[in-house]
Amino acid sequence: MDCVLVLIAAPGSGAIGAEAVALLRRHGAGEPRWLAEGEALEVPDFAGRDDFLAAIAALPLDANLVPLANRSKRLLIADMDSTMIEQECIDELGVMAGIGDRIKRITARAMRGELDFEGALKERVRLLKGLDAGIIDTILRERISFMPGGKELIATMKANGAYTALVSGGFTPFTSKVAEALGFDEHQANGLIVADGVLTGEVGSPILGQQAKLDALRRISERLGISTADALAVGDGANDLAMLGAAGMGVALHAKPQVQAKARFRVNHGDLTALLYLQGYETAEFALP
């Protein structure tokens, strides 16, 4: 299968300079195609690739071998927490409830796959019992920030005919606002039960976790009349693994080590625009959000 090696650096870093290009040539690579000057390029796969990758291991670069067939994807299916936004929403709820450290420890273990997702979610939500539901709007307004490159990613893929879905093991009061702000076509997440204006400590049933994300990928692909090979999935936690594995391009974004170990594509230095470079887009082709 024909492939290209895509090198991506952090935006604004200019980290792909003369040293990296010289190393490519020294190891037998062809002339690079620049996707973003100093930040992203691709070259056809070459015999000395493994030696080249070993030589750049210490550089702040992401290197991914991408098949050319079916490269531009028709569906984006994305995790929300620590993927499309820079926070974990349940951790922010925990901070507001005065138990942030306790909640964060459980979240970290769940995202590393050390705890059952459903059980860990129920445990954390129980700890939030009695929290004023109005806090959610405060968190959205004051504590939630978007991952850089997300708006460009969604706008560009939609401009090129793709459908976009936000699928989260978090909560619908957050996904509804994030999906609207970023331009997603649809979203799904868990429901937080509220009574008399406060959280009851219960989460809606059924709880949507790893299987629900995989089911969403399959359901949306079927509805669109495409294969899951036509999809790009992105996430960072253990409950994203099934979705990442089933999509044609499953990207671990700044992910937990065990997620990176299993994902075919990894981005640790770039932002969400890296997903456009992996599909072969140049910055001149990015759509304005």
With a CB cutoff of 8 Å and minimum separation 6, the contacts of 87 are 81, 143, 144, 145
Following DSSP, what letter does each residue of 96-156 receive, concatenated? HTT-HHHHHHHHHHHHTTSS-HHHHHHHHHHTTTT-BTTHHHHHHHHT--BPTTHHHHHHH
Q: How far apart are CA 203 and CA 178, in angstroms?
A: 20
Our separate counts of H helices and E strands in the chain read 12, 12
Where b means 16+ CB within 10 Å and e means fewer, 70-106 reads ebebbbbbbbbbbbbbebbbbbbbbbbbeeeeebbeb
Cα separation of 10 and 268, whole Å?
Answer: 9
50 carries an active-site annotation: no
Q: Catalytic: which of 45, 50, 62, 79?
A: 79
Does the N-terminal peptide bond of residue 206 adopt cis geometry, omega within 30 degrees of 0?
yes
Three-state secondary-structure class, residue 278: helix
CA angle 278, 156, 165 (to 5 degrees): 85
DSSP 228: G
Query: Of 120, 116, 95, which is closest to residue 107 (Cα–Cα)?
Result: 120
116 an active-site residue?
no
Selected catalytic residue, list 81, 91, 240, 271: 81
Helices 89-96 and 135-142 pack at an angle, to 10 degrees, of: 120
Q: Please tell me whether residue 197 adopts helix, strand or coil conformation.
A: coil
Q: Are 18 and 40 in contact (CB under 8 A)?
A: no
The residues carrying an active-site annotation are: 79, 81
